[in-house]
Amino acid sequence: MSFPPAIRRKFWGHDFSSPVMLASGTAGFGEELLDLKCLSGVGAVVSKAVTLKPREGNLPPRLLETPFGLLNSIGLANPGVHHVLNCILPAAAALPCPFLINVAGESVDEFADVVNILEDSSVHIGYEINVSCPNVAEGGTAFGVDPEVVLRVAQGVSRVTDRPFSVKLTPNGGDIVQSAEAAVEGGASAVTVCNTFLGMHIDWKTGKSVIRRKVAGYTSPALLPLVVAKVWQVSNAVSVPVISSGGVSRGEDVLQLLAAGAQMVQVGTRLMRRPFAASELMDEMKKLTGE
Amino acid sequence: MTVPRDFDCVVKHREQVLCGVVKTVFDCAEIASHALPGQFVQIEPSPDVFPVTRRPITINRLTGNGFELLFDVVGSGTELMAQMRPGDTVRVLGPLGRGWAIDPGSSWLLIGGGLGAAGFQFLMNSVDSVTVLIGASGSDRVVPLDSCRVITEDGSAGEKGLVTALISEELLDGADSIAVCGPVAMMEAVWNTIPEKHRRKVQVSTESRMGCGWGVCDGCSIPVSGGGYKKCCREGPVFPGVEIDWKRWKEAGL
């Protein structure tokens, strides 16, 4: 790799003028992005997580902002794979950039079942397999921390699709390098490093957590060094591209993650605040590197 | 519906209207010409990295070339907003959400609780016939509106009691539409006071802890009757009262 890292890159055989991907859960299924016309500078969009059956999501409150970040407990709310396939994905064809579908499951087999159904769509270039959601009782973080389960999930997905897929890993426990290696062994074409960090906010007056599931997923610009370290560790250990996720709020953050070994860089919470974040990050990067 | 856009707006005016309640007027011809009553804007409290989300505030009224917000200083974000001074440039996304459904020529009954009434002025200015009932804990929580009947819990302004005491069969009969906005407990009390036959006329303006404000994050969900949720930011913030699952909403304790 040369430094500073190039902004233009190749990923899964496609040429990307931008390394910025919109992270799962912060970009819906692209409908709102199309409405706001905020897709300039977006390299790729990752959908909300799709599960076999519809999921209502967790009882509110689902969000709690802390002085330096955001706790979320959405709970993989989505209308289920059949509704997504028939009623939502056709509109995503209008996206001017590549589209990945994030897939979650409550059992090892469910991941492959969902992917198998989504194979009927041609709008997406690949998948992100979410074995790391901290906000669900089944199939979330507990899967991602166990390399044996990650291997079986990846193998199951490999059997039903020829499209490339990334496995989204957890920073919460286990050895992320071992889980990444298991994903690659199972056939993953990339790994996403990483899902949200387990966080909690307790009202000291009552001893209670505002979030009903007590713990939640934490995102923050202050997590950047933690994500950089994990991206650096994983990219040194595996042969497939690493997609970073977390910690980005400025153009120089994206450049740092690329320098740490990320091939693509996801932005999430920043996008929620700034719908035009991708375009803003690209402008900042071009100014910094002169590319 | 108009597509919201992200604007750099200049603060034109700022004043404290009640204790802990600030009125700020922003210049923005585009928002002023497109916003509808009941819609909101997402304000960036600071150009810095923190806080990481914006603050959703209902538009209280339009000014000639912009819009006015009236907000309660309740936390670090609104504290930063309270410090905005004329001449400051602030990032504003809007107009956002679905506002009040207004039939031409309809007569309205507005029922507000505390700072929930911030936003009523825009609706009052947009309908032909309106009666406004405001309830608050005390005179220091009564939002200044052009004309309204006030009741306070401590009797420091208007009558003494709860806003539900002002709701009469005569007022309900005379209204084509009923707008309710305030804390969840107050709105539920109002809902329970309104007889079944008038409930189809009720619209409620909801509030939720909000992430994006433009529909992508699913963080601000409001429980709806029949199960499931709707997004406060995009399918609301104004919903028909019959659409709300009052029991689960109260349980959520937003």
- Residues A43 and A18: beta-carbon distance below 8 Å: yes
What are the distances in angstroms from CA A133 to CA A22, A95, A232? Answer: 17, 26, 22
* Cβ–Cβ gap A59/B223 under 8 Å: yes
The residue of chain A nearest to residue B250, with distances taken between CA atoms, is A60
pLDDT score, position A159? 98
The residue of chain B nearest to residue A250, with distances taken between CA atoms, is B49
pLDDT score, position A252? 98
Q: What is the mean pLDDT of chain A?
A: 96
Question: Which residues from chain B sit within 8 angstroms of residue A252, using beta carbons?
Answer: none
Residue A68 domain flag: no
The predicted model gives A49-67 an average pLDDT of 96
CA distance A44 to A155: 25
pLDDT of B246 strictly over 90:
yes
* Residue B186 main-chain phi, psi, to 5 deg: -65, -45
* Cβ–Cβ gap A77/B218 under 8 Å: yes
Residue A188 domain flag: yes
* Cβ–Cβ gap A67/B219 under 8 Å: no
pLDDT score, position B109? 98
Class of domain B5-96: mainly beta
Give the residue, A210 or B69, on which the prediction is more confident.
B69
How close does chain A come to B186, measured CA to CA in Å? 19
The residue of chain A nearest to residue B56, with distances taken between CA atoms, is A273
Residue A63 domain flag: no
User: Which two structure tokens, joined as six digits, stand for B188?
Assistant: 């539920």
Q: What is the pLDDT of residues A87-103, one digit of tens each?
A: 999 999 999 999 999 99
CA distance A139 to A156: 15
Kindly state whether B44 is in contact with chain A, defined as any CB-CB distance less than 8 angstroms. Answer: yes
* Cβ–Cβ gap A65/B223 under 8 Å: no
* Cβ–Cβ gap A220/B53 under 8 Å: no
The residue of chain A nearest to residue B215, with distances taken between CA atoms, is A32
Strands (E), B117-237: 129-136, 149-152, 159-160, 177-181, 202-205, 221-223, 229-231
**CB within 8 Å of A207: residues ≥ 6 apart:** none
Range of the domain at A145: 9-57+76-196+221-289
- Residues B97 and B40: beta-carbon distance below 8 Å: yes
Q: Which residues of A are catalytic?
A: 133
pLDDT of B253 strictly over 80:
no
The predicted model gives A143-156 an average pLDDT of 96
Q: Which helix (H) or strand (E) holds B41?
A: strand B40-43
User: Which two structure tokens, joined as six digits, stand for B153?
Assistant: 């819990």
The predicted model gives A104-132 an average pLDDT of 97
CA distance B151 to B147: 13
Residue A273 domain flag: yes
* Cβ–Cβ gap B252/A64 under 8 Å: no
Kindly state whether B215 is in contact with chain A, defined as any CB-CB distance less than 8 angstroms. Answer: yes
Arch. (CATH architecture) of B107-252: 3-Layer(aba) Sandwich (3.40)
pLDDT score, position A135? 86
**CB within 8 Å of A52: residues ≥ 6 apart:** A80, A81, A105, A106, A110, A113, A114, A117
How close does chain B come to A99, measured CA to CA in Å? 15
pLDDT score, position A1? 82
Domain count, chain A: 1
Question: Which residues from chain B sit within 8 angstroms of residue A220, using beta carbons?
Answer: 52
B positions 75-114 inside 8 Å of A (CB): 76-77, 93
The residue of chain B nearest to residue A30, with distances taken between CA atoms, is B216
Query: How many other C-beta atoms can be found within 10 angstroms of the C-beta atom of residue A180?
Result: 28
Residue A266 domain flag: yes
Residue A236 domain flag: yes
Question: Which residues from chain A sit within 8 angstroms of residue B211, using beta carbons?
Answer: 63, 70, 72, 272
pLDDT of B252 strictly over 90:
no
Q: Which helix (H) or strand (E) holds A157?
A: helix A147-160
Residue A203 domain flag: no
Q: What is the pLDDT of residues B171-218, one digit of tens each?
A: 999 999 999 999 999 999 999 999 999 999 999 999 999 999 999 999
Of A127-141, A261-275, B122-136, B211-225, which gets the smallest average pLDDT? Answer: A127-141
Query: How many other C-beta atoms can be found within 10 angstroms of the C-beta atom of residue A151?
Result: 21
Question: Which residues from chain B sit within 8 angstroms of residue A59, using beta carbons?
Answer: 223, 248, 251-252
pLDDT score, position A81? 98
B49 closest CB neighbour out of A31, A37, A221: A221
Pick from A164, A158, A163, A177: which is nearest to A120 by CA?
A163
B5-96 with B107-252: one CATH topology?
no
The predicted model gives A145-150 an average pLDDT of 96
pLDDT score, position B1? 65
pLDDT of B42 strictly over 80:
yes
DSSP A105-150: -SSHHHHHHHHHHHTT--S-SEEEEE---TT-SSSSHHHHT-HHHH
pLDDT score, position A177? 98
* Cβ–Cβ gap A65/B53 under 8 Å: yes
Candidates B8, B216, B247: best to mutate against A (most CBs of A within 10 A) is: B216
**Amino acid occupying residue A247:** G
CATH number at residue A101: 3.20.20.70
pLDDT score, position B2? 77
pLDDT score, position B254? 60
Q: Where are the domains of chain B?
A: 5-96, 107-252
Of A136-145, A146-155, A187-196, which gets the smallest average pLDDT? Answer: A136-145
Give the position of tokens 């969902």. Answer: A114
Residue A245 domain flag: yes
Q: What is the pLDDT of residues B129-156, one digit of tens each?
A: 999 999 999 999 999 999 999 999 999 9
Q: Please give the interface size between A and B, counted as residue pairs whose CB atoms are below 8 Å apart.
A: 111
Q: pLDDT-based confidence at B111, cuts 50/70/90? A: very high
Give the position of tokens 């995009």. Answer: B234
pLDDT score, position A153? 97
How close does chain A come to B1, measured CA to CA in Å? 10
